[in-house]
Structure 1
């Protein structure tokens, strides 16, 4: 019977992990290095290394003949989807819901405030020893639209609550009701976008969301609006966004880009009205303790035969 579990942290650093002697599991540490820690064929539970390229994440999958569960440490699963075709039916793929909400929502708010209040210009002014006083936009009294209202979108709204926004509207793949108000379907975007001063994109990357923020989407945004992307780069059509930025009609704050990493010399670096952070929404001090708690809980469920949390799909 195969019982290997591949972890991107040493097992003795994860509090609450089922003991090897009691559970019968063999914990193997692998963080994406060139050498596998053991025969992939013996792995039953694979935790995908964090912040590694797709080719690294999927490299052991074709040989994992005994695999029963794949656990990502990201909210999105797009980086492991290319490897799912190699897996036997019945393998559960779980995401990291609950790990990144706090830090990603925090960055979404930081990017929004920094862009509206002119922080990048103040930093440049400090370098140039220039006192750039004046009136700047505030988040107060603004209308905000959150596109992608899952757990991260909800966490973003949590953090908007004290800022006296005039309105927060929500969009997801399908309509539903929440305690805060209605969640609109994607089909309502043409009527919602012209009313929003700030549009925050926090949707996962799927076939539906790829290129969602295209020329038509951007054209529906009001003059002077701010686009904030903390989702995935390919959700936004970079060429269409550049055209709008260069016209000066809208501004943008981007934690993710397409391509990514953004290469030197790319016009997006120097487009007017854009603030770029290097995909750091989830990679903060908040990540590791939450990730380890998730792994301890998931493996405890696995050992006891209980259903795993955060199951996104099961291979067919």
Structure 2
């Protein structure tokens, strides 16, 4: 371990990191610098980060692969908000003597956003809000949640919460994932069905899978084609779970609707095809963005720095 002199806080889009964390507990000898933009160019990113011996990354906004880590000779401590980060090459960091730590998180705020997207689309809230502001009144007829079928793809921590809330709304809940059993589905309040049946039966399909080589593109053109006309696909997990060109085509054809909080490329660039698709409710990856979660993140980051300085790392990540 040892001393730290410069801390970089990355990708603070809202400009809230310094006001939401107990940074005053850190030694005055540590200079803290906040960056509010995400650099995609590897040379510019390496040049920006090279002087720092401690870096706090906000989720996967800036990945730390072996190629980047090799260009950061001063780095001693790398922190991710949250308990883990699949965009970090932890083994490469450890090989370079870099300590990698996580932070606590609070609750499951992604579930809030998922239901916000579902309810917003079912009741046509974006259209009605725009109409009201333009002087209109009751221009659409929405759909109630009760009696609809919720299809949950991935019945883990978040998927199980989605299933319970769906049942509380009076929905029929069905579920599928590659390793899901009938017993586990029943325990989560859902009926196990095949992938094809889920996409054909569900009025709302919500995705709750970890992105991996096995799950990348797991929702393809055939799955989207099976969906009922006007059915809703909700993705608050990771953009690459869905074949994006197939999704754009289905949306442009007006066959389905989509509530999306995550995208293949983030931040979503101007002119991206999804921005012009009808039948969508799009949010800028707000799933984990809550005051409670941010407070836990930044408290955990300060604790990680304090632990490193004391020679006792906390929530250390290992390969």
Fold shared, TM-score > 0.5 on shorter chain: yes
2:57 matches 1:48: yes
In structure 2, distance between residues paired with 1:150 and 1:98: 17
- Asked whether the equivalents of residues 73 and 291 of structure 1 are also in contact (C-alpha less than 8 Å), the reply is yes
Q: Could you tell me which of 202, 213, 221 is aligned with 1:215?
A: 221
| Pair 204,90 (structure 1): closer, same or farther in 2 beyond 3 Å | farther
Alignment correspondent of 2:287 = 281
Alignment correspondent of 1:80 = 88
Where 1:288 maps in the other structure, the secondary structure is helix
- Asked whether the equivalents of residues 142 and 165 of structure 1 are also in contact (C-alpha less than 8 Å), the reply is yes
How large is the RMSD of aligned CA atoms in angstroms? 4.2
Alignment correspondent of 1:2 = 2
Question: Which residues in structure 2 correspond to 1:154-169 (within 5 Å)?
Answer: 154-167=160-173, 169=174
Q: Could you tell me which of 105, 108, 115 is aligned with 1:102?
A: 108
Alignment correspondent of 1:175 = 180
CA shift, 1:199, in A, is 0.8
CA shift, 1:32, in A, is 5.0
In structure 2, distance between residues paired with 1:223 and 1:301: 54
| Pair 94,144 (structure 1): closer, same or farther in 2 beyond 3 Å | farther
- Asked whether the equivalents of residues 50 and 74 of structure 2 are also in contact (C-alpha less than 8 Å), the reply is no
| Pair 28,199 (structure 1): closer, same or farther in 2 beyond 3 Å | farther
- Asked whether the equivalents of residues 62 and 87 of structure 1 are also in contact (C-alpha less than 8 Å), the reply is no
Unaligned runs of 5+ in 1: 21-25
- Asked whether the equivalents of residues 49 and 57 of structure 1 are also in contact (C-alpha less than 8 Å), the reply is no
Q: Relative to structure 2, which stretch is displaced further, 141-150 or 114-123? A: 141-150
What whole-Å deviation, never above 9, does each CA across 1:6-37 have from its counterpart, x for those lacking one?
5746799439x8x87xxxxx966454587659
In structure 1, distance between residues paired with 2:131 and 2:169: 26
2:156 matches 1:145: no
- Asked whether the equivalents of residues 106 and 156 of structure 1 are also in contact (C-alpha less than 8 Å), the reply is no
2:127 matches 1:111: no
2:197 matches 1:191: yes
| Pair 207,181 (structure 1): closer, same or farther in 2 beyond 3 Å | same
| Pair 138,241 (structure 1): closer, same or farther in 2 beyond 3 Å | same
- Asked whether the equivalents of residues 261 and 285 of structure 2 are also in contact (C-alpha less than 8 Å), the reply is yes
What whole-Å deviation, never above 9, does each CA across 1:118-142 have from its counterpart, x for those lacking one?
1011022113322235532111111
In structure 2, distance between residues paired with 1:137 and 1:51: 35
Where 1:140 maps in the other structure, the secondary structure is coil
Where 1:54 maps in the other structure, the secondary structure is coil
CA shift, 1:111, in A, is 0.6
TM-score in terms of structure 1 length: 0.73
Where 2:230 maps in the other structure, the secondary structure is coil
| Pair 147,96 (structure 1): closer, same or farther in 2 beyond 3 Å | farther
TM-score in terms of structure 2 length: 0.72
CA shift, 1:271, in A, is 1.7
How many pairs were matched up?
297
CA shift, 1:162, in A, is 3.2
